Amino acid sequence: MSKGPDVLKTFKYGMPIYGLAWPAGDVFYICGGGGSTASGIKNRLVMAQGKAGGLSDQVADFNFGSNCPMRLAVTPDSRSIVFAMGTGGLRRLDVNPAAEAPKPAEVSDALQARMSQVKGEVKSLAFNASGTLLALGGDDGSLAVHEWPSMDVKMNLSGDRKLKDSVKDVDFSTAEGSTAVAAVLDNGSLELWDWESGRLLSRLERPKGHQFKSDRVIMMSSSTHTMLQQLPAGMEAVSFSRVKFARDGTGRMLTLLNNRSGCFVGSWVPRTDGMVGMVALHASVRASEQPGGCFDVSADGSKVAVGDPEGGVVVLRSQPLLVLRRAAKCHMVFTTAVAFSPDGLHLLSTSADASVTLTSTLPQSPSSRM
């Protein structure tokens, strides 16, 4: 299938792309590469511009040598970028966002030494809304929260306290006064932790066992309560894949869930019946008949995006949850990351085929979404 009119621009940047961020302004950040130097493909950070419905060539880059940056997170003030590296550990680069031509620069040995305390492969990372905390999820099941930029440890679940599987996604709650951080595990469960006390608030998972007569439920448990959340038809045997909190002050937790019939977006809200740390499913919708692999929420919390393994993207409204538009075959292979523009009017998507695609997020006619 050819790319439709909703795909405004596609540009190739010469490397498989794994990480993506679009903070305030026109400049976005992508990272990736070929891994070992034998591949001949450089392992880089690339900075480029997205504006006026188009994409620029790179405006700056940084070469990481033989170590490929697999994931990245940018501080809310756009001054620092943290990378999860292919061989494990973290790297930090700083940027002056006010410069006429922003360029990434290595930090001092003392600052980089703070990052070196993190060992092993980091599978997920996220800053909180104020940029004062950094959450890290490990391939080994570790979950840590660090103060930023000191990297002092606020919570460290490792060793005997590590989680039951690799941590594939993390995000901080945006509810007022909340000290919760969410983690999605490779086994399809989601856990909410209090990073201040190091206490498990709740776990959401698909129940197992013959005593559960329906597979259209999620089991939610805390230290004091266990309950079942009924799910709509079609959401049988779903597993959590991604999590993001809406940055609109509501505390809504938006999740990507997969099962054999495709992917769904669920909107969860904190319970108000005294069950502290527990959430309730407020709304859900099927996003695609394909499984969802990557996920983002716009800065104002009004839109959600999903990338699929066929190179397509889906844009949804978050309240009420409904599909706004679909763009199939934005890439030749699977979509690796999606990110909204700061104003939410466009969506960037990336792929291992080295492409970045810019798509409109304005609603399509119903016939175009079929």
> CA quadruple 289, 184, 123, 69: dihedral positive or negative?
positive
Judge whether 339 and 348 are in contact, CB under 8 Å.
yes
The chain-wide mean pLDDT, for the chain, equals 93
pTM of the shown model: 0.94
Tell the burial category of 244 from Cβ atoms under 10 Å away from its Cβ (0-12, 13-18, 19+). Answer: buried
Judged against a pLDDT cut of 90, whether residue 213 lies above it is answered with no
Torsion region of 301: left, alpha or beta (phi above 0 gives left; psi -120 to 50 gives alpha) = left
Q: Which residues pair with 177 in a beta bridge?
A: none
Judge whether 105 and 137 are in contact, CB under 8 Å.
no
CA distance 135 to 119: 14
Average pLDDT over residues 5-16: 86
Judge whether 260 and 241 are in contact, CB under 8 Å.
no
Q: Phi and psi at residue 39, in whole multiples of 5°?
A: -70, -25
Judged against a pLDDT cut of 70, whether residue 47 lies above it is answered with yes
Judge whether 253 and 240 are in contact, CB under 8 Å.
no
Who wins on pLDDT, 210 or 356?
Answer: 356
Predicted confidence band of residue 125 (pLDDT cuts 50, 70, 90): very high
Q: Residue 221 has what pLDDT? A: 95
Residue 198 neighbours by CB distance under 10 Å: 14
Judge whether 55 and 48 are in contact, CB under 8 Å.
yes
221 CA to centre of own chain? 24
Tell the burial category of 41 from Cβ atoms under 10 Å away from its Cβ (0-12, 13-18, 19+). Answer: middle
> CA quadruple 41, 60, 335, 68: dihedral positive or negative?
positive
Judge whether 187 and 199 are in contact, CB under 8 Å.
no
Predicted confidence band of residue 212 (pLDDT cuts 50, 70, 90): confident
In tens, the pLDDT along 241-298 reads: 999 999 888 889 999 999 999 999 999 999 888 787 899 999 999 999 999 999 999 9
Straight-line distance from the first to the last Cα atom of the chain, in angstroms, rounded to the nearest whole number: 14
Average pLDDT over residues 63-74: 97
Predicted confidence band of residue 53 (pLDDT cuts 50, 70, 90): confident
CA distance 350 to 220: 34
Judged against a pLDDT cut of 80, whether residue 23 lies above it is answered with yes
Q: Residue 141 has what pLDDT? A: 98
Q: Residue 274 has what pLDDT? A: 76
Token pair recorded at residue 26: 């026109």
Judged against a pLDDT cut of 60, whether residue 49 lies above it is answered with yes
Predicted confidence band of residue 36 (pLDDT cuts 50, 70, 90): confident
